[in-house]
Chain A
Amino acid sequence: MQQFITLTVAGAVQGAVYAAFALALVLIWRSTRIVNFAQGAMAAATTFIALALIEAGQSYWVALLVALVSGFVLGAVIERVVIRPVEGGPELNAVIVTLGLFIAIQALVAIVFGNDERAFPPPFDRVGFTVGETNIALTPNNLYTIGGVLVTLVLLIVLFRYTPVGLAMRASAFGQEVARLLGVRVSRMLTLGWALAAVVGAVAGVLIAGEGSSVTPNFMDALIVYGFVAAVLGGLDSPIGAVVGGVALGLLLGYVRGYLGDEVVNLAALVILIVVLLVRPGGLFSSAQARRA
């Protein structure tokens, strides 16, 4: 039982980070129908910016804010300069462009910040709470990580559901031509979609670094695989699905790691991906049916 609780906590925390990452992928998929393979490298870049600030003596919160802002700028610039020319073209072009971006950004980060493993100071304690005599696996920083992802999700839901900009973004995502005919500046909304996705990616990067991942230019690489599986699990179109998919994947992989061993975790992720694609290709929360109606 003790082990089950420990695994559940660890899985939920991992899952929260997968969720954030999946959320970033979903935002881009929704607005431009592109799977952004550069997401991990972009998040690594913003995490390094935050780390550089912390090492220079700034507070964690200032560093976080700067990471988010630089993510916004990075996402917007990449969409305008690199993605815009391949939008609306063959899908493979966009995939190759994001793969190229992934390599280029990762190399650039290595040149600027070096290739060494660096530690990222957490904002809260990474020692578990004690209840009576027993020390449980949940740490204050775990709560912060989960909370951070939830706040991000809630803010996105509020943005999409209750603001005119959110409505314009959804209209642009689901009916690009109609939105243009109705006077929505769709290209601006696509840029905003990429910018927001990069912000969410930046959140994921800073959170996972704070959970004790050593920070290197490629430290987000594994995450893009899990984030992608989580996004597919939730249906690539659904932000809520991304979060549920992320947490579900985190828990599943946590139990696999605990009961079956570390070495089968990647295999398990692959199996989950294949099963989802076979059984429910639209994901658990897909609106694919609606799109075809």
Chain B
Amino acid sequence: MAEPVAHGSTAVSAAGADGTAVLEVRDLTTHYGPVRALDGVSLRADKGRITAVLGANGAGKTTLLRTVSGLIRPARGQVLLDGTEITRAPVESMVGRGMSHVPEGRGVIAELTVDENLRVGALFRGKTPKEEFDRVYELFPRLAERRNQPAHNLSGGERQMLVIGRALLARPRILLLDEPSLGLAPRIVAQIFGLVRQLVDTEGLSVLLVEQNARSALSVADVGVVLNLGRVVVTDSARTLMADEDLRHAYLGF
């Protein structure tokens, strides 16, 4: 059983990684009525890294992301983006501040076409150069084929590509991903995680990834944070967590 390690730093290197926190969460506590969904959670997501938040169903992973992006008000604690407190900032302002949240269930707007979904993602910027849309279509050729189809025609994998592409159009510094692997075939999961890794390594993007599929998540992440019943159990490098058999059995289910 691993001892809880506070903010374990790792030697994993990535393009933009320099050990500065893009996102920092301090002592975050969120209630759902009498239930304490998050109980004093502190963690950080460093620049140019993938930080994976792992844990069983009900551990508080989704609540964490929803509190960070302002969809839920915390009872206590702080959220800092690049050192600036954003704890009670309106949800609508988050993309403008450089944080894109891809919610649970992917958040495709099914009634809109693929192209319209992408354009909604760029609305807040006003005029967005056509090249940026082209780049998303280059990244995901499948989307280009279906750009004028309603998004409800897309497969699960294509939907995940769409929401990641849409989030990228906001040019975020940090991307919050909620269970991107949910309901996808292992091959597609590998493909999507590979792409996220590539974006992080080549463009210095930072990612806070929430996953129940701990094995896949740890294989792509730099740092892992294990959550149980709303509390952080351990924070360490993905490699160390992967090697800790007791911890894996106890909290990660593999």
- A and B together in one complex: yes
Residues of A in contact with B (beta carbons under 8 Å apart): 164, 167-168, 170-171, 174-175, 177-186, 287, 290-291, 293
Asked if A287 contacts B109 (CB within 8 A), the reply is no
15 contacts between A and B (CB under 8 A): A164-B119, A167-B120, A170-B112, A170-B116, A174-B109, A174-B112, A178-B103, A178-B107, A180-B71, A181-B95, A181-B101, A183-B95, A185-B92, A291-B111, A293-B152
Residue contact A174 to B111, C-beta cutoff 8 Å: yes
Chain A CB within 8 A of B93 CB: yes
- Are B123 and A181 in contact, with the CB atoms below 8 A? no
Inter-chain contact B111/A287, CB cutoff 8 Å: yes
Segment 88-124 of B: residues with Cβ below 8 Å from A: 91-96, 100-101, 103, 107-112, 116, 119-121, 123-124
**How many residues belonging to B are interface residues under a CB distance threshold of 8 Å?**
27
| Complex partner residue of B92 from A171, A186, A291, CB under 8 angstroms | A186
Tell me if A179 and B120 are in contact (CB < 8 A): yes
Alpha-carbon gap, A184 to B90, bound state (A): 11
**Chain B nearest CB, measured from A240 CB (Å):** 14
Given known A-B contacts A170-B112, A182-B166, A290 and B124 have beta carbons under 8 A apart: no
Query: Which chain A residues border B94 with CB–CB below 8 Å?
Result: 181, 183
Chain B 199-227 against A: per-residue CB contact (8 Å), 1 yes, 0 no?
00000000000000000000000000000
Cα–Cα distance between A167 and B94 once the two chains are bound (Å): 20
A166 to chain B, nearest CB (A): 10
The CA of A181 and the CA of B121, in the complex, are separated in Å by 9
Chain B hits for A174, CB < 8 A? 109-112
Complex contacts, A168 vs chain B, CB 8 Å? 120, 123
**Chain B residues near A (Cβ < 8 Å):** 69, 71, 91-96, 100-101, 103, 107-112, 116, 119-121, 123-124, 150, 152, 166, 170
| Given A167-B120, A182-B121, A183-B92, A293 and B110 contact (CB-CB distance below 8 Å) | yes
Find the A residue at minimum CB distance from B166. A182
**Complex-state Cα separation, A289 to B107, whole angstroms:** 17
Cross-interface CB contact of A167 among B91, B100, B119, cutoff 8 Å: B119
Q: Which of A171, A182, A185 has the most CB of B within 10 A?
A: A182
Q: How far is the CA of A168 from the CA of B103 in the complex (A)?
A: 18
B124 touches A184 (CB 8 A): yes
B116 touches A167 (CB 8 A): yes
- Say how far A170's CB is from chain B's closest CB, in angstroms: 6
Which residue of chain A has its CB nearest to the CB of B120? A171
| Beta-carbon nearest neighbor of A165 in chain B | B123
A177 to B112, CA, bound (A): 15
**5 nearest CB pairs, A to B:** A183-B124, A175-B109, A183-B95, A178-B107, A293-B152
Instruction: Evaluate contact between B110 and A180: CB separation under 8 angstroms.
Output: no
Residues of A contacting B96 in the complex (Cβ-Cβ under 8 angstroms): 183
* Distance from B77 Cβ to chain A, minimum over Cβ atoms (Å): 21
CB <8 Å contact, A182 and B71: no
Contacts of B119 in A (CB 8 A): 164, 167
Contact partners of B150 in chain A: CB under 8 A = 290
Task: Determine if B92 and A184 form an interchain contact, defined as CB atoms under 8 angstroms apart.
Answer: yes
Q: A167-B116, A181-B91 are in contact. List 18 more A-B contacts (CB 8 A).
A: A168-B123, A171-B116, A171-B120, A174-B110, A174-B112, A175-B109, A175-B110, A179-B120, A181-B71, A181-B103, A181-B107, A182-B123, A182-B124, A183-B96, A183-B123, A183-B124, A184-B92, A184-B123
- In the assembled complex, which residues on chain A have CB atoms less than 8 Å from the CB atom of B170? 182-183
Residues from chain A with Cβ under 8 Å of B103 in the complex: 177-178, 181
- Residue among A175, A183, A186 with the most chain B CB within 10 A? A183
